[in-house]
Amino acid sequence: MAKHRRPGPPNQPSRALPRVNADEPLAPYNRRRRPPMDQYRRHRAVHGGAGHLRPDEPRVLEAWDGFTYQVVGTAPDLATAQEWVNELQIGDDPAT
């Protein structure tokens, strides 16, 4: 039985990576330092739970530092937090 390609969700960037360059000795290391789902910024509801249910509550803003997400600030509501997350476009790497 042949394997079938299963595309990911349409709202997420591709995780397909180019082959490791033999001339680049740190390529595997750099690949492991990428954030999950290529999401360099994210927001979480302060009191937990599903954030879309309470859009007027404050949010904690987190940014990827190469190893883990670090808290970098707060936002007063969901719209402000989403605006902050979307300032960084897909494919932009803030570490470079």
Task: Give pLDDT tens digits for 24-58.
Answer: 888 777 777 777 777 788 899 888 877 778 889 99
3-state secondary structure the chain: CCCCCCCCCCCCCCCCCCCCCCCCCCHHHHHHCCCHHHCCEEEEECCCCCHHHCCCCCEEEEEECCCCEEEEEEECCHHHHHHHHHCCCCCCCCCC
pTM (predicted TM-score):
0.60
Task: Give pLDDT tens digits for 17-33.
Answer: 555 667 888 877 777 77
